Structure 1
Amino acid sequence: MPKTILTVDDSPSMRLLLRSALVERGYEVREAEDGIAALEWLATNDQPAIMITDINMPRLDGFGLIEKLRENPKHRDMPVLVLTTESSDQKKARAREAGATGWIVKPFDPEKLHSAIRRVIH
């Protein structure tokens, strides 16, 4: 049974790139356009094996999304990779403090993304 990945990004083209790279490697992909949509999806679906989220999004950004996940015992241990154009140490530290599992800078290399996913999925 394929592992499900929830991708969270406000860019339709980035969601499409992620879907293409992940489906090609055998994952089932679900998508949300921001943190609020991701939380709504999680409230009515089984937890995915991992979430990949952008940082800069409307309504609820990636930092807020990760913090909300970590407050919920059901999602506290779900791996979360941050995929963003941001690369400052300050933003990385903030993501770690929020509870992010890892960090990948856009544009992403599909093989490196797959490798990072394999490292964090239990």
Structure 2
Amino acid sequence: MREHILLVDDETDALEELGELLEGEGFHCHCATNVASAMACMATWPDIALLITDLRMPDESGLRLIHNLRAMPRYATLPIIVMSGHADMNDVIGLLPLQVVDFLPKPIYQERLIEVLNQRFPVPQVANS
């Protein structure tokens, strides 16, 4: 298994599809449908290496989640990818000071996401015996 990734999206179908895609690439995915459950996952799974979150969700936004995490020294440099089907330029500009790794519009261009993840977490090479 490759790195642990936390996926956060209030759309459960999209969340499951993304989880299946990334697990097919060897990642271990944890899923949350809101900010509260995402924070609980972060506490439960300390080895999460990257967060992929939707920007706009009911209750609290992905932006609130990112602010919560950045306020904690442990997650100040956690790599974060933001996705949204409804973001505008002000949303994207607001992400810049939060050191977001990438912004992906929804629907997700899967090849681009895999490319970003493989650059950050290269596929382990199996040594020949």
Taking structure 2 as the reference length, the TM-score comes to 0.86
Distance in 2 (CA, whole Å) between partners of 1:26 and 1:19 is: 11
Q: Output the CA distance in 1 between the equivalents of 2:63 and 2:87.
A: 14
Deviations 1:26-85 (A, max 9, x none): 111100001111011112221311100001112321111001111001111110000111
Does the Cα contact within 8 Å between 1:82 and 1:100 map onto a contact in 2?
yes
Contact 2:55-2:87 within 8 A present in 1 as well: no
Q: Which entry has the higher C-alpha Rg, 1 or 2? A: 2
Q: 5 Å matches for 1:47-66?
A: 47-66=47-66
Q: How many residues are aligned here?
A: 122
Say whether residues 1:98 and 2:85 are aligned partners. Answer: no
- Provide structure 2 residue ranges, at least 5 long, that are not aligned to the other structure: 123-129
Render the CA deviation track for 1:72-119: whole Å, top value 9, x for unaligned: 011111100001113422111112233422100011121111112233
Identity %: 25
CA distance in 2, matches of 1:76, 1:45: 16
- Distance in 2 (CA, whole Å) between partners of 1:27 and 1:53 is 16
2:117 corresponds to which residue? 117
Unaligned runs of 5+ residues in structure 1 are: none
- Please tell me the root mean square deviation across aligned C-alpha atoms, in Å: 1.6
Aligned structure 1 segments of 4 or more residues deviating by more than 3 angstroms: 119-122
SS of residue paired to 2:18? helix
Aligned to 1:79: 79
Please identify, of 48-57 and 85-94, the stretch whose mean Cα deviation from structure 2 is larger: 85-94
